């Protein structure tokens, strides 16, 4: 069945189990995704261990497959049976449906509720910075965090900033001169939670690069895209955020603004998940007007509007393309953008980081996430790059953990190529 929470059958456990059997049987006969993630690894090994028969799988076996799925979405593009094929296979949405149904039946654990509420975590962490950052690196406090919330003590965590990106933008906008009438376009920046609370320098570089290209930038009211709530199976909270965002984003679309997003998970949500979750014209409009930041810049380039008077090159770049960008089927826009820089060579790395939301931070999955990211670590190290790049902040955490190299977002590299060095809005 299609992903439709308004259908009573969506919530029935017997209907869910029948859909497991149907999809798993198709996957068993195909096995094209055998090496994509631990979810498929578990599925196929369990089927093999139970006499090569899908009907021998138990509800606990299915739950194990669900728990090991971190919604990278790669299997959807690999699968030859996705809609509109008559077999209608959408493995990621089946996993998401199962998480939602399980959450309704069993409740949402405290850890999942906290990790899903990124705005709360960001506000508390930012208010307590730099103390919160010190606490996140203190061995005894990390042991306590592991024992209470199940966050692995060795997982490197994002830093918090006392000044959020939104606060930086508001103060800067109050001092800025308006763009001249020869602007190249207008964008509303959906800045993402990670940029707002943990990586404001990415948002600053995004504004710098857009304004360098004579693009008017505004920041509309917004909430978390809702993906962290979905990871926890909390459909109600996710839909509340979706509704708020659709309201404010449609208001700026009415004023001829496009929506630009510097985070692949959030751009995937706005483009691909909002039309399914909300199933209305407002969601479709947001989808049609939303662009990943590098996708938008390459659109400018195709129109002959991108300023290519770069001052600096970047040398050898090992560029990791995140799974949630690959899932959007927009090509390699970040790589193509970086290749425009002088004296720059880009090596594309198409390996999953296996961090994916909060999955790789959890005590029970941390070591497994490092194992599945092993190919990524190897390719980054073998490239011997001057710079490592990734559009995804969580993939960057994983890369830093596995290689001791701190990646930059591609838009930060472009900002530096233009001569913006300090990330504070000034050249």
pLDDT digits (tens, 9 = 90+) for 78-92: 999 999 999 999 999
Question: Exposed, middle or buried by CB within 10 Å (0-12, 13-18, 19+), for 214?
Answer: middle
Residue 287 near residue 270, CB atoms below 8 Å = yes
Here the CATH number for the domain that contains residue 332 is 3.40.50
Average pLDDT of span 239-264: 97
Q: How far apart are CA 161 and CA 154, in angstroms?
A: 21
Q: Give the model's confidence band at 331: pLDDT under 50 very low, under 70 low, under 90 confident, else very high.
A: very high
Q: Is residue 182 part of a domain?
A: no
The first and second tokens of residue 332, run together, are 């390699």
Higher pLDDT, 52 or 15: 15
pLDDT tens per residue across span 178-215: 555 578 899 999 999 999 999 999 999 999 999 999 99
Q: Is residue 23 part of a domain?
A: yes
Number of neighbours of residue 138 by Cβ within 10 angstroms = 12
Question: Strand, helix or coil at 261?
Answer: strand
Q: What pLDDT shows up at residue 181?
A: 56
* Residue of 349, 350, 342, 326 whose CA lies nearest to 414: 342
Residue 424 has pLDDT above 70, yes or no: no
Question: Strand, helix or coil at 316?
Answer: strand
Residue 312 near residue 417, CB atoms below 8 Å = yes
Q: What pLDDT shows up at residue 423?
A: 45
Residue 427 has pLDDT above 60, yes or no: no
Average pLDDT of span 374-403: 97
Residue 226 has pLDDT above 50, yes or no: yes
Q: Give the model's confidence band at 279: pLDDT under 50 very low, under 70 low, under 90 confident, else very high.
A: confident
Q: Is residue 98 part of a domain?
A: yes
Domain boundary among 56, 77, 106: 106
Q: What pLDDT shows up at residue 180?
A: 57
Q: What pLDDT shows up at residue 425?
A: 44
Q: Give the model's confidence band at 6: pLDDT under 50 very low, under 70 low, under 90 confident, else very high.
A: confident
Average pLDDT of span 11-27: 94
What's the structural domain count of the chain? Answer: 2
CA R_g for the chain = 22
Question: Exposed, middle or buried by CB within 10 Å (0-12, 13-18, 19+), for 189?
Answer: buried
Q: Is residue 217 part of a domain?
A: no
Q: Is residue 326 part of a domain?
A: yes
Q: Is residue 61 part of a domain?
A: yes
Q: What pLDDT shows up at residue 426?
A: 47
* Averaged pLDDT score across all residues of the chain: 93
The first and second tokens of residue 402, run together, are 């596995």
pLDDT tens per residue across span 132-183: 999 999 999 999 999 999 999 999 999 999 999 999 999 987 666 655 557 8
Q: How far apart are CA 59 and CA 78, in angstroms?
A: 26
Domain boundary among 106, 135, 150: 106
User: In this structure, are strands 258-261 and 344-349 parallel, antiparallel, or unpaired?
Assistant: unpaired
Q: How far apart are CA 206 and CA 200, in angstroms?
A: 10
Residue 390 DSSP symbol:
E
Q: How far apart are CA 30 and CA 168, in angstroms?
A: 51
Instruction: Tell me which of 119-133, 178-192, 219-233, 293-307 is least confident.
Output: 178-192
Residue 35: partners with Cβ closer than 8 Å, 6 or more residues away: 41
- For residue 90, what are the domain limits? 8-106
Q: How far apart are CA 174 and CA 387, in angstroms?
A: 34
Domain boundary among 48, 74, 106: 106
What is the length of the chain? 427
Q: What pLDDT shows up at residue 140?
A: 96
The first and second tokens of residue 133, run together, are 């950052």
Q: What pLDDT shows up at residue 269?
A: 97
Q: Is residue 180 part of a domain?
A: no
Residue 411 near residue 202, CB atoms below 8 Å = yes
Q: What pLDDT shows up at residue 183?
A: 81
Q: Is residue 250 part of a domain?
A: no
For residue 330, the Cα-to-chain-centroid distance in whole angstroms is 15
| Predicted TM-score (pTM) of this structure | 0.93
Residue 416 has pLDDT above 90, yes or no: yes
């Amino acid at each position: 069945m299609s992903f439709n929470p308004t259908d009573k059958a969506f919530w029935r456990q017997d209907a869910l189990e029948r859909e497991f059997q149907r999809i798993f049987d198709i996957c068993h006969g195909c096995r094209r995704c055998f090496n994509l993630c631990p979810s498929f690894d578990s599925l196929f090994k369990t089927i093999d261990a139970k006499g090569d028969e899908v009907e021998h799988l138990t509800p606990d076996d299915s739950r194990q497959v669900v728990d090991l799925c971190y919604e990278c979405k790669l299997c959807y593009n690999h699968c030859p049976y996705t809609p509109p094929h008559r077999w209608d296979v959408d493995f990621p949405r089946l996993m998401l449906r199962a998480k939602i149904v399980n959450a309704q039946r069993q409740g949402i654990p405290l850890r999942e509720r906290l990790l899903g509420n990124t705005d709360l975590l960001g506000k508390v962490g930012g208010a307590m910075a730099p103390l919160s950052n010190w606490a996140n690196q203190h061995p005894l406090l990390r042991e306590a965090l592991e024992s209470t919330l199940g966050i692995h003590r060795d997982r490197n965590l994002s830093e918090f900033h006392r000044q959020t990106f939104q606060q930086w933008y508001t103060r800067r906008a109050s001092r800025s001169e308006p763009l001249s009438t020869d602007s190249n376009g207008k964008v509303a920046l959906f800045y993402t939670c990670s940029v707002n609370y943990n990586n404001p320098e990415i948002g600053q570089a995004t504004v710098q690069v857009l304004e360098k290209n004579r693009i008017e930038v505004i920041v509309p009211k917004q909430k978390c895209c809702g993906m962290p709530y979905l990871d926890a199976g909390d459909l109600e909270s996710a839909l509340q955020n979706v509704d708020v965002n659709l309201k404010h984003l449609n208001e700026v679309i009415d004023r001829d603004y496009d929506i630009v997003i510097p985070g692949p998970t959030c751009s995937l949500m706005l483009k691909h998940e909002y039309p399914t979750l909300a199933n209305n014209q407002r969601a479709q409009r947001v989808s049609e007007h939303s662009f990943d930041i590098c996708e938008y810049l390459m659109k400018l380039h195709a129109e002959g509007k991108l300023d290519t008077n770069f001052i600096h090159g970047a040398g050898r770049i090992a560029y990791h393309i995140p799974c949630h960008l690959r899932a959007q089927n927009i090509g390699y826009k970040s790589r193509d953008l970086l290749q425009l820089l002088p004296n720059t060579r880009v090596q594309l790395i198409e390996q999953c980081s296996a961090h994916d939301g909060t999955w790789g931070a959890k005590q029970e999955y941390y070591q497994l996430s490092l194992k599945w990211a092993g190919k990524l670590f190897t390719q980054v190290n073998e490239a011997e790059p001057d710079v490592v790049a990734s559009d995804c902040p969580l993939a960057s955490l994983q890369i830093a953990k596995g290689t001791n190299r701190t990646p930059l977002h591609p838009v930060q590299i472009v900002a530096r190529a233009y001569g913006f060095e300090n990330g504070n809005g000034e050249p």
